[in-house]
């Protein structure tokens, strides 16, 4: 079946640095990808919708200058957390639709010290 690969699975970084998370659809093309964030013991909240060849659509309250999304090809979307701070520590997970199905990456646990 279709697979979405997300890397890295875990990253620890210093406050003020930037972190890039990659999400790849391995055997299908994804014109759209979704980025979610999950704080401890909370639900998954949609951050933004990534669109191949155009600007991402951000949900209300999500800073687009802080969470940079690039969807440069039909199989790759990246989320860059710029100038990360401890409050950005969270579990980030991407997903890509294929028809009525939605495939998830394995997630990235970001810890900002």
Residues 14-32 as b/e (b if ≥16 CB within 10 A, e otherwise) read eeeeebebbbbbeebebee
Cα gap 34→39, rounded to integer Å: 17
109 touches other proteins by CB under 8 A: yes
Spell out, one character per residue from 34 to 73, where the chain touches other proteins: x when CB under 8 A holds, - when not: x-x-----xxxxx--x------------------------
93 touches other proteins by CB under 8 A: yes
Q: Which span sits near other proteins by CB under 8 A: 17-25, 65-73, 79-87, 93-101?
A: 93-101
Whole-Å CA distances, 48 to 1, 25, 62, 86: 25, 17, 8, 21
Nearest CB to other proteins, comparing residues 80 and 107 = 107
Nearest CB to other proteins, comparing residues 81 and 105 = 105
């Amino acid at each position: 079946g279709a697979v979405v690969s997300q890397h890295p699975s875990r990253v620890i970084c210093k406050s003020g640095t930037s972190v890039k998370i990659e999400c790849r659809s391995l055997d299908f093309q994804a014109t759209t990808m979704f980025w979610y964030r999950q704080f401890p013991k909370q639900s998954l909240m949609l951050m933004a919708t990534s669109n191949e060849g155009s600007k991402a659509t951000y949900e209300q309250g999500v800073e687009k200058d802080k969470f940079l999304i690039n969807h440069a090809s039909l199989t790759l979307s990246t989320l860059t957390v710029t100038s990360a701070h401890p409050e950005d520590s969270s579990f980030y997970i991407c997903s890509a639709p294929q028809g009525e199905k939605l495939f998830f990456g394995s997630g990235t646990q970001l810890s900002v010290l």
